[in-house]
């Protein structure tokens, strides 16, 4: 269905596709047969959660009311050797999915800010020993990520850890004003900042060619993350090559050409000096523009060869037009041109510098000898 919003869509098992839309749920099988469930009355689906095995959402006729609006939901994957996951979550209230106590509350955790997204993630040890561990990753609208351990049997939440990621609300996979990658490596969790453009949303995918990958949306482009590839701006490919590494870089556009750079140890800031020929500060540039545009009509025109920049010649040229006007219509037209020149902000790369794009990327790393 291409004409309605889709809050959720994904594979269930190996031969079925679920599409969840506001008015119901479509179950599409591999032979193109479609089973559809409609919402009762005027109710609409606004939030949903899925995994690859649990598909008994419409088997229960009982309804549970919550005192507050449900902002987001998450459904954990089914552990190996079991038929169903015991817990799901709604606004950080753990509820049961066991048939004997369906939708009964198990635990609850208070949060310092409103929810943005949730992800229940099960991890196992690399050596295969011991039981698996479930972590609840909570993205908040204030830019913080909470990671809470969940008991496999009781559903209790404990050992909460907080990390500030950026100024925007957190979407799990961790995207804010910057994008982060949370992964399990060497029996520990690592949260690494990605050296990449800001991602709007992301999801995992798997195919015969690429067993593990991530597909993401950045602005108006679709980008793929495949294991073992390098960053290629033409094919929009990201890479996860060195898990556990903390090296990261970011580039900032500069207004003028950088000349010198030092690190201020007390302020933990990077101090940079930028200079260019015939470049002014914004205050000086506005003052000169207004002074030259407001010259009296009776002034003597300044020859072009005596002017230092093309900007000054343009502004004096507008004054000459006013002085040479023969009627009121030409005077008004000349004043209109002068006003446009007064408010014009010329490109510094053309009129004030060397005519090139100036950008510097700064990065720092340590190397063992």
pTM score of the predicted model? 0.35
The 10s digit of each residue's pLDDT in 40-69 is: 777 788 777 776 654 444 444 555 666 666
Render pLDDT for 253-290 as a digit per residue (tens, 0 to 9).
Answer: 887 788 888 888 887 788 888 877 767 777 777 777 66
Q: What SS3 state is found at 8?
A: strand
Q: What is the dihedral of CA 224, 227, 229, 232, to 10 degrees?
A: 20
Backbone angles phi, psi at 214, to 5 degrees: -135, 130
221 near 215, Cβ under 8 Å?
no
C-alpha 351/C-alpha 285 separation (Å) is 12
pLDDT tens digits for range 63-101: 566 666 666 666 666 555 444 444 433 457 777 777 777
Q: What secondary structure does DSSP assign to 105-137, as a single string?
A: EEEE---SS-EEEEEEEEE--TT--S--EEEEE
CA angle 29, 31, 36 (to 5 degrees): 40
Give residue 59's pLDDT. Answer: 42
Domains and CATH numbers, the chain: 1-48 (no CATH), 70-249 (2.130.10.10), 282-351 (no CATH)
Q: Which of 222-226, 243-247, 289-293, 348-352 has the highest mean pLDDT?
A: 222-226
How do residues 327-350 score in pLDDT, each as one tens digit? 777 777 777 776 766 676 655 554
């Amino acid at each position: 269905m291409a004409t309605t919003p889709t809050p959720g869509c994904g594979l269930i098992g190996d031969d079925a596709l679920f599409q969840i839309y506001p008015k119901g749920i479509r179950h599409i099988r591999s032979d193109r047969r479609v089973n559809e469930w409609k919402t009762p009355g005027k109710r609409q689906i606004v939030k949903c959660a899925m995994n690859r095995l649990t598909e008994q959402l419409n088997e229960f006729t009982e309804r549970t009311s919550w005192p507050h609006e449900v902002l987001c939901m998450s459904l954990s994957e089914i552990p190996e050797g079991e038929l169903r996951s015991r817990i799901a979550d709604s606004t950080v209230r753990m509820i049961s999915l066991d048939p004997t106590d369906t939708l009964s509350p198990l635990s609850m955790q208070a949060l310092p800010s409103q929810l943005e997204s949730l992800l229940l993630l099960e991890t196992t040890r690399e050596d295969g020993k011991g039981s698996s561990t479930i972590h609840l990753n909570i993205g908040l609208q204030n830019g913080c990520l909470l990671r809470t351990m969940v008991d496999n049997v009781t559903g209790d939440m404990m050992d909460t850890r907080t990390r500030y990621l950026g100024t925007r609300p957190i979407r799990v996979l961790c995207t804010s004003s910057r994008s982060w990658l949370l992964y399990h490596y060497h029996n520990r969790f690592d949260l690494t900042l990605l050296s990449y453009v800001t991602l709007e949303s992301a999801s995992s995918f798997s195919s015969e060619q690429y067993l593990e990958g991530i597909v993401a949306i950045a602005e108006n482009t679709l980008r793929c993350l495949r294991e073992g590839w390098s960053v290629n701006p033409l094919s929009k490919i990201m890479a996860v090559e060195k898990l556990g590494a903390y090296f990261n870089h970011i580039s900032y556009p500069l207004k003028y050409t950088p000349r010198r750079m030092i690190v201020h140890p007390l302020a933990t800031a990077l101090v940079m000096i930028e200079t260019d020929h015939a470049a002014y500060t914004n205050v000086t540039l506005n003052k000169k523009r207004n002074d030259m545009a407001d010259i009296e009509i009776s002034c003597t025109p300044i020859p072009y060869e005596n002017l230092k920049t093309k900007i000054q010649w343009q502004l004096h040229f507008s004054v000459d037009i006013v002085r040479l006007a023969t009627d009121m219509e030409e005077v008004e037209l000349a004043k209109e041109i002068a006003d446009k020149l007064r408010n014009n902000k010329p490109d510094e790369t053309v009129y004030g510098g060397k005519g090139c794009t100036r950008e510097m990327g700064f990065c720092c790393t340590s190397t063992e000898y």
